[in-house]
Amino acid sequence: MLLIVWIAVAVLVLLVLGTLAYNVLGAAGRLGRELRALERDAAPLLAEAQATAARAAAARAERPASTD
């Protein structure tokens, strides 16, 4: 009788661990998709910021250096 209880406990533990693993892997997949979407959405903003920084550096380079 005790053996049946231990088998039932082991089956329940495996079921719980399997469900937990399934949920964690699903969440990791969703997180990866969200990060790829965020990178795709932020790419134009990053390009614009880099272009602005390049224009500012070019404007700084064109100005004569003031000597005090």
Residue 32 lies in a domain: yes
Q: What is the DSSP letter of 63?
A: S
Residue 65 lies in a domain: no
Please give the Cα distance from 26 to 21 (Å, whole number).
8
Residue 57 lies in a domain: no
Please give the Cα distance from 52 to 36 (Å, whole number).
24
Residue 21 lies in a domain: yes
Q: pLDDT tens across 17-65, in order?
A: 999 999 999 999 999 999 999 999 999 999 999 999 999 999 999 887 6
Total tally of structural domains belonging to the chain: 1
Radius of gyration of the chain (CA): 29
Provide the residue range defining the domain that includes 40. 7-49
pTM of the entire predicted model: 0.59
| pLDDT band (50, 70, 90) for residue 66 | low
